[in-house]
Amino acid sequence: MANDAVTDKRLTLFDFITQSILVLMFSLMMSIFIEWVGMANYWDHSSSHALQTLEGDLGYINDDFTEENILGYRPIDIIDYFYSTFHQPNEDGSPSVVTRFVQYVTQSDYDGGLLGTMTNSTGVAIKEYILAALYVVLSFVLRLAILTLSIPLVLVVVTVGLVDGLVFRDLRRWQNGQESAFKYHYGKKLLLPSLFFSWFLYLSIPFSINPSYIIVPMAIISAYITRETAHWFKKYL
């Protein structure tokens, strides 16, 4: 009886990039959705909550991340670029792209504006939802910059976990210890989802939080999963 061929589907670079983009897009849409639901049911019917969240994130950056990152950039530099590009008035004094868009959407006159046939109160309400979405996008960009610049930390911690796991693997083999393909395969499957989940959690959370509370546990969990995966790796190196 012939053995069934088993195909090991490996994650390619294209698959990783595609999944990362999908996670980021879903996180952004979920962030805006949570903010809008909160505006309609829980907190004030205005963009003040989203603005407070953005200010809180900026406060954590100014307090804890004032030094330049090893890549030469700080998260605040990135948010300053987006703010100056899309929100601040132009050099000639004309409104920015975002300001003109909000003015166009919320115009209440019948001759122009997307909401020309609606009441002033409706236009103001929709303006608040649009402003809240813009503040959420700025918070999203800021948090994404923090996560991106924290990748070197995660790589260092994961490398330590990998080396530690390989050492324990050699000790287990020399001592004729038991192998576990179950732990190896499931550890390998959990590594990427754990990273994606931590990114999704931090990008979607509707209030400001110290980035260290997310980044440090994310790095530790990733290192532990890597260590266990390498520990139970069965093939010869």
Mind listing the pLDDT tens digit for each residue in 21-63?
Answer: 999 999 999 999 999 998 888 887 778 888 888 888 888 777 6
Burial 165-203 (b: 16+ CB within 10 A, else e): beebbeeeeeeeeeeeeeebeebbebbbeebbebbbebb
Model's pTM, two decimal places? 0.72
pLDDT digits (tens, 9 = 90+) for 185-233: 666 777 788 888 888 999 998 888 888 888 888 888 888 888 888 777 6
- Domain-wise residue ranges, the chain: 23-147, 150-237
